[in-house]
């Protein structure tokens, strides 16, 4: 890190984040890393001396956005230059990692390319970019987390009541469609003590809900106080001891890593919210094999049954890919059947996008675009139906809502249910920061509406009543 006093002059930083929650977390860490150099975050791109595009490479569409965004950047930089201001432009994230050299060659407007494993080096790389174009897409030996400064209390307070916390990064699973093992590297888990310290700081700054992040978060195996590796379940039991931290979530998981301790955490911890994102990708064993998922539809059902036995009201979410090479109508029908049988509270579905460097991209028998489009539409409508059924089943129930912000309408506040649904409630802004019991009165297309049961007694522990829901066609 350079001590040049020039570095300390206040400068504006704008970060545009694409992609997953891990990128949202990383963007905050980058802002924290650059804060000691005098960089203040701004929400106005035109004001920024340094613009970082934190990019996503998971599907082709996500990558393409970067190059179109860079076209816009060039205009903006030229306008600022006309007014005597310099602007430095950086690309970070997974496109930087996967296509760093190409970005440097194709986009002269870019001054700086930094891969996800090098964010702790940002201060020196940004300083270097003043005089030359810089690229760093190494997987360095040192642990970036231990070199990245945490946020100040002020920054955390400004970021709100909920926070992400990365506990694990990278993936060793190598699903044949996925770029993550190449862009984020091998699985690395942070030690328990470091995560607990970060969570305590967040709680001390008023954060009430933490979502633990990892590309394969339930493969977490960080070092515990006794030197032995701990799983995600053990980590959750530790985090549940922290005062003021009322809600815990985690994402994204692989079905094969739902071990007994993690399932016990769902049974035993009030703080662990009854919502689980557990991607299956396909309902066809033939396609699951081609995807190198290393599980079957049956083993996925078995895991779900175990989780439902531990936490009967759990809301399930998943990811699906349609149009994977070789997918027949019969394979797709298996996916539709699985979706109906599980009864997801929400789910994400994507058309297969061949990613350079992955085995899937080399497979013959790619599915015609029209067929994939039709399947995607059919799947999305099925998912929507399931989501609507799940929400409708909440009418009349009382559930805890963490009130996070003012609502859309005057006199309303908004927050999230334990099942991650957006809930609007009639009430005063003084409720922001409280967890309050709300009786659900009506169901909208994207959110629920409810009324406070008792405003005089904001609660700290989470309360979920009436713990069965009607959308599951399978019993636990
Ligand atoms: N094509 C389409 N969808 C993909 N995903 C990952 N890689 C691809 C790809 N090549 C989806 C998976 C994953 C989610 C984050 O993105 O469903 O779970
Ligand atoms: Fe990608 Fe998830 Fe498979 Fe890892 S487990 S390769 S992150 S889809």
Q: Are residues 169 and 125 in the same domain?
A: no
68-72 average pLDDT score? 91
Q: CATH number of the domain that 117 lies in? A: 3.40.50.12160
Residue 1 lies in a domain: no
To test the pocket of ligand 1, the residue of 350, 355, 362 to mutate (highest count of ligand atoms within 8 Å of its CB) is: 350
- Atom in ligand 2 nearest the alpha carbon of residue 174: 6
Last residue of a domain, one of 349, 372, 392: 392
Number of domains comprising the chain: 3
305-334 average pLDDT score? 98
Residue 275's beta-bridge partner residues?
A: 315
E runs forming strands in 255-391:
275-277, 315-322, 346-351
Residue linked to tokens 């997918």: 327
Exposed/middle/buried for residue 463 (C-beta within 10 Å: 0-12, 13-18, 19+) = middle
Q: Are residues 293 and 410 in the same domain?
A: no
Residue 2 lies in a domain: no
Give residue 180 CA to ligand 1 midpoint distance, Å: 9
Does the Cβ of 281 fall within 6 Å of ligand 1? yes
Looking at residue 264, its pLDDT comes to 98
Residue 141 confidence class, pLDDT cut points 50, 70, 90 = confident
Residue 472 lies in a domain: yes
Give residue 62 CA to ligand 2 midpoint distance, Å: 17
Residue 303 lies in a domain: yes
Per DSSP bridges, beta strands 222-223 and 168-169 are unpaired
75-82 average pLDDT score? 94
Cα–Cα distance, 60 to 292 (Å, whole number): 21
Q: Are residues 376 and 398 in the same domain?
A: no
Q: Are residues 111 and 248 in the same domain?
A: no
Q: Are residues 288 and 359 in the same domain?
A: yes
Cα–Cα distance, 476 to 468 (Å, whole number): 11
Does the Cβ of 180 fall within 6 Å of ligand 2? yes
Last residue of a domain, one of 342, 359, 392: 392
Cα–Cα distance, 185 to 242 (Å, whole number): 31
Which residues, 6+ apart, have CB-to-CB distance to 300 below 8 Å? Answer: 255, 278, 280, 338
Q: Are residues 76 and 157 in the same domain?
A: no
Does the Cβ of 215 fall within 6 Å of ligand 2? yes
Residue 422 has phi, psi (to 5 degrees) of -75, 130
Looking at the predicted structure, is the pLDDT value of residue 198 above 80?
A: yes
Residue linked to tokens 């990383």: 26
Q: CATH number of the domain that 270 lies in? A: 3.80.30.20
Give 449-452 contacts, CB < 8 A, sequence gap 24+: 449/423, 449/424, 449/425, 450/399, 450/401, 450/423, 450/424, 450/425, 451/425, 451/426, 452/425, 452/426, 452/427
Residue 358 lies in a domain: yes
Q: Any idea what the Cα angle at residue 355 is, between residues 106 and 66, rounded to 5°?
A: 35
To test the pocket of ligand 2, the residue of 181, 251, 300, 358 to mutate (highest count of ligand atoms within 8 Å of its CB) is: 181
Q: Are residues 377 and 401 in the same domain?
A: no
Mean pLDDT of the chain: 92
DSSP one-letter string for 68-126: HHHHHHHHHHHHHHHTT---EEEEEHHHHHHHHHHHHHH-TT--EEE-GGGGGGHHHHH
**Listed range (156-160, 203-207, 247-251) with the worst mean pLDDT:** 156-160
Q: Are residues 110 and 160 in the same domain?
A: no
Tens digits of residue pLDDT in 234-246: 999 999 999 999 9
What is the three-class DSSP state of 329?
helix
Q: Are residues 385 and 398 in the same domain?
A: no
Looking at the predicted structure, is the pLDDT value of residue 10 above 50?
A: yes
Cα–Cα distance, 171 to 20 (Å, whole number): 15
Q: Are residues 387 and 398 in the same domain?
A: no
Q: CATH number of the domain that 434 lies in? A: 2.40.50.140
Instruction: Report the percent of the chain where pLDDT is more than 70.
Output: 93
- Atom in ligand 2 nearest the alpha carbon of residue 178: 1
Count the Cβ atoms, other than its own, within 10 Å of residue 370: 9
Residue 313 lies in a domain: yes
Which residues, 6+ apart, have CB-to-CB distance to 29 below 8 Å? Answer: 119, 148
Residue 5 lies in a domain: no
142-147 average pLDDT score? 80
63-80 average pLDDT score? 91
What is the three-class DSSP state of 170?
coil
Looking at the predicted structure, is the pLDDT value of residue 367 above 60?
A: yes
Does the Cβ of 216 fall within 6 Å of ligand 2? yes
Asked whether the bond before 252 is cis by omega within 30 degrees of 0, the reply is yes
pTM assigned to the model:
0.92
**Enclosing domain of residue 415:** 394-476
Residue 169 lies in a domain: yes
Last residue of a domain, one of 392, 419, 446: 392
- Please provide the distance, in angstroms rounded to a whole number, between the alpha carbons at the two ends of the chain: 55
Tens digits of residue pLDDT in 412-445: 999 999 999 999 999 999 999 999 999 999 999 8
- Atom in ligand 2 nearest the alpha carbon of residue 172: 4
Q: Are residues 266 and 310 in the same domain?
A: yes
Does the Cβ of 248 fall within 6 Å of ligand 1? no
Q: Are residues 430 and 456 in the same domain?
A: yes
């Amino acid at each position: 890190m350079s001590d040049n006093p020039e570095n300390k002059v206040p400068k504006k930083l704008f970060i545009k984040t694409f992609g997953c929650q891990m990128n949202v977390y990383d963007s905050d860490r980058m802002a924290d890393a650059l804060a000691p150099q005098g960089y203040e975050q701004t929400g106005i791109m035109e004001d920024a001396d340094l613009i970082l595009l934190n990019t996503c490479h998971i599907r082709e569409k996500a990558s393409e956005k970067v190059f179109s965004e860079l076209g816009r950047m060039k205009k903006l930089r030229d306008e600022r230059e006309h007014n005597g201001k310099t602007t430095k432009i950086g690309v970070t994230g997974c496109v930087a990692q996967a296509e760093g050299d190409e970005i440097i060659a194709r986009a002269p407007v870019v001054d700086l390319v930094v891969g996800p494993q090098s964010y702790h080096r940002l201060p020196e790389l940004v300083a270097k970019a003043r005089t030359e174009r810089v690229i760093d897409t190494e997987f360095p030996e040192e642990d970036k987390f231990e070199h990245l400064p945490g946020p100040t209390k002020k920054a955390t307070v400004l970021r709100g009541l909920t926070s992400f916390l990365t506990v694990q990064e990278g993936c060793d699973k190598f699903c044949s469609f996925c770029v993550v093992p190449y862009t984020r590297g091998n699985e690395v888990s942070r030690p328990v003590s470091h995560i607990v310290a970060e969570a305590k700081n967040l709680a001390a700054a008023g954060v009430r809900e933490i979502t633990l992040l990892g590309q394969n978060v339930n493969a977490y195996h960080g070092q515990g106080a006794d030197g032995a590796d701990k799983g995600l379940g053990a980590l959750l039991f530790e985090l549940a001891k922290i005062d003021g931290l009322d809600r815990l979530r985690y994402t994204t998981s692989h079905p094969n890593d739902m071990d007994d301790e993690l399932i016990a955490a769902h049974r035993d911890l009030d703080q662990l919210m009854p919502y689980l994102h557990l991607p299956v990708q396909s309902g066809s064993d033939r396609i699951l094999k081609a995807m190198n998922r290393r599980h079957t539809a049956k083993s996925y059902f078995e895991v779900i049954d175990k989780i439902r036995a531990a936490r009967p009201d759990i809301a399930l979410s998943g990811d699906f890919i349609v149009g994977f090479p070789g997918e027949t109508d019969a394979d797709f029908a298996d996916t539709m059947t699985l979706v109906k049988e599980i009864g997801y509270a929400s789910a994400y579905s994507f058309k297969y996008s061949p990613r350079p460097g992955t085995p899937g991209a080399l497979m013959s028998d790619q599915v015609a675009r029209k067929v994939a489009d039709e399947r995607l539409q059919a799947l999305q409508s099925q998912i929507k139906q399931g989501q609507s059924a799940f929400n409708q089943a909440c009418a009349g129930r009382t559930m805890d809502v963490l009130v996070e912000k003012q609502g859309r309408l005057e006199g309303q506040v908004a927050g999230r249910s334990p099942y991650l649904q957006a809930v609007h409630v009639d009430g005063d802004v003084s409720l922001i920061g409280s967890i309050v019991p709300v009786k659900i009165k009506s169901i909208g297309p994207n959110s629920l509406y409810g009324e406070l049961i008792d405003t005089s007694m904001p609660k700290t522990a989470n309360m979920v009543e009436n713990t069965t829901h009607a959308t599951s066609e399978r019993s636990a």
